Chains A and B, each alone.
Chain A
Amino acid sequence: MRTVKRNKILKILAVIIFSVILISTSKTIISPQRAGIIDLLSVPLKAIHSFFGSARNIMPFASLREENRLLRERINLLARKIDELKMVAAENDRLKDLINFRKTIPFATIPAQVIGRDPSNWSNSIIIDKGLTGGVKQGRAVLSTKGLVGRVLEVGRYSSKILLITDPNSKVGVMIQRNRHGGILAGRPDGKCRMVYIALDSDVAVGDKVITAGFGAIFPKDILVGEVVRVDKEPGRLYKSAVIKTAEDLSRLEEVLCIK
């Protein structure tokens, strides 16, 4: 009985000693084999790892979807804000130009905004947001930063109607800036103007600038009106005429200055 017990103890001791020996030599004996096995398995391991990594990246998790929706909404909001800011910046530039122009001209002026346009295909007029209470007076000239616009024809308390220089009923005394030859600027319904009664010996040419002559009491002198785009000389006529392109695109006016 005693012998059996001693054998058992010896067996356990032997196992422990063997284990200690095995552990102490494992680095030198097993490591190369283990490394070989891992090397062999590294290719499929890498493939599996990259597959799961990609899957994790593209998995449409609910939280990501929600975050994506919120970010899209934010992008839309910011895009709208950028558009608004661009409009404000453009308006700011226009108003800056208007203020700078106002400083350069020797007349007291009233800035006004265009609030309406003529629905007729014959006349060319605009409605502005200033009237008698704003200091606008009937018959006064109206300018923009680029040149002459027209004159005040009807004045209400809070709004006024401006007859544009392109209206067929509008007549303005003008002259060619280069040679000071005069004429009358008459409007046409298509938005262009015709300078009539130009002397036959006048050397008016395409590209010449046309300015106000300052005759009469409405339009001050030397305000830019436009540019000659065509010169006509009909046989049998005592005068030449020219088609004038206005300095300002009158169909897209947004702010004007009314001379006080």
Chain B
Amino acid sequence: MYKIARIQIYLILATALFLQGGAVNYVAISGAKPDLPLMAVIFFGLFLGPAAGLESGLAAGLLKDIFALDFFWINTITLGLTGFVIGAINTQFFKESKRADFIFVLIFTAFAMSLHYSIAVVLSDSIALGFLEFFKSSIIPTAIYTGLVSIPVYSKLLDVYKLKETEEYL
């Protein structure tokens, strides 16, 4: 059972996508911008479990696929899988620490972006971008930026939804 109502999960995802397509472009630092939908998916996976992680990942990914000029389904697969994986391992870690949350977001943003790159390279024969260059120019700055943004956002969401580390939602 969800601690957060399903409609609220979708509202948070929609807000994250809306901001990602607009305001986030204005806070980009040398091309790097935080990935808010991915950050929301990691949050749901981390605090609500694998089902919520998978569901929110599939929904956010599908919406991304509709609006992006990317291979269709690539974001659905990437975000769905990321949400599920983080949900599946969420009971093995202590999450009540801002530092731990930052590290989780950092690692899983890098994981999702690497997964996206791998699928894109398999599907496309025209990508001239090497993984190392992509890792240095995009993955590291985006993961750090998303991780930093997640610290106040997660803290606020945890306060709003009163999600404490109890067995109720694990």
Q: Mark A residues whose CB is within 8 Å of B.
A: 116-123, 125, 127, 153-154, 161, 163, 167-169, 171, 184, 186, 188-192, 194, 196, 251-252
Is B5 close to A, CB under 8 A? no
Closest beta carbon of chain B to A183's beta carbon, Å: 11
Closest beta carbon of chain B to A257's beta carbon, Å: 19
Give 14 pairs: A residue, B residue, CB < 8 Å, sorted on A: A116-B21, A118-B69, A120-B67, A122-B120, A123-B68, A123-B69, A127-B67, A167-B69, A168-B127, A188-B133, A190-B31, A190-B138, A192-B31, A252-B25
Is B166 close to A, CB under 8 A? no
Q: Tell me if B69 and A190 are in contact (CB < 8 A).
A: no
Closest beta carbon of chain A to B20's beta carbon, Å: 4
Q: Chain A residues near B67 (CB, 8 Å)?
A: 116, 118-120, 127
Q: Chain B residues near A167 (CB, 8 Å)?
A: 69
Measured CA separation A192–B129 after assembly (Å): 12
Closest beta carbon of chain A to B68's beta carbon, Å: 4
Q: Chain A residues near B63 (CB, 8 Å)?
A: 119
Q: Chain B residues near A168 (CB, 8 Å)?
A: 120, 127-129
How many A-B residue pairs lie within 8 Å, measured between CB atoms? 88
Closest beta carbon of chain B to A193's beta carbon, Å: 10
How many interface residues does B have (CB within 8 Å)? 36
Q: Tell me if B70 and A123 are in contact (CB < 8 A).
A: yes
Sorted nearest first, the 6 A-B pairs with minimum C-beta distance are A190-B31, A191-B31, A125-B69, A120-B68, A119-B20, A186-B128
Q: A188's contact among B113, B124, B138, by CB below 8 Å, is which?
A: B138
Who on chain A is nearest to B61 by CB? A120
Q: Chain A residues near B55 (CB, 8 Å)?
A: none
Is B155 close to A, CB under 8 A? no
Q: Mark B residues whose CB is within 8 Å of A.
A: 17, 20-22, 25-26, 28, 30-33, 35, 37-38, 63-64, 67-70, 75, 113, 116-117, 120, 124, 126-129, 133-134, 137-138, 141-142
Closest beta carbon of chain B to A167's beta carbon, Å: 7
Q: Tell me if A252 and B129 are in contact (CB < 8 A).
A: no
Q: Tell me if A119 and B21 are in contact (CB < 8 A).
A: yes
Measured CA separation A189–B33 after assembly (Å): 10
Q: Chain A residues near B70 (CB, 8 Å)?
A: 120, 122-123
- Provide the main secondary structure of the chain B interface: helix
Measured CA separation A190–B142 after assembly (Å): 9
Given contacts A117-B22, A119-B63, A190 and B30 within 8 Å (CB-CB): yes
Closest beta carbon of chain A to B92's beta carbon, Å: 27
Measured CA separation A119–B128 after assembly (Å): 22
Measured CA separation A9–B22 after assembly (Å): 108
Identify the interface centre among A116, A127, A161, A189: most chain B CB within 10 Å of its CB.
Answer: A189
Identify the interface centre among A127, A161, A163, A169: most chain B CB within 10 Å of its CB.
Answer: A169
Who on chain B is nearest to A167 by CB? B69
Who on chain A is nearest to B19 by CB? A119
Q: Tell me if B68 and A118 are in contact (CB < 8 A).
A: yes
Measured CA separation A133–B25 after assembly (Å): 29
Q: Tell me if A154 and B69 are in contact (CB < 8 A).
A: yes
Who on chain B is nearest to A253 by CB? B25
Q: Chain A residues near B137 (CB, 8 Å)?
A: 188-190, 192
Q: Tell me if A122 and B124 are in contact (CB < 8 A).
A: no
Closest beta carbon of chain B to A253's beta carbon, Å: 10
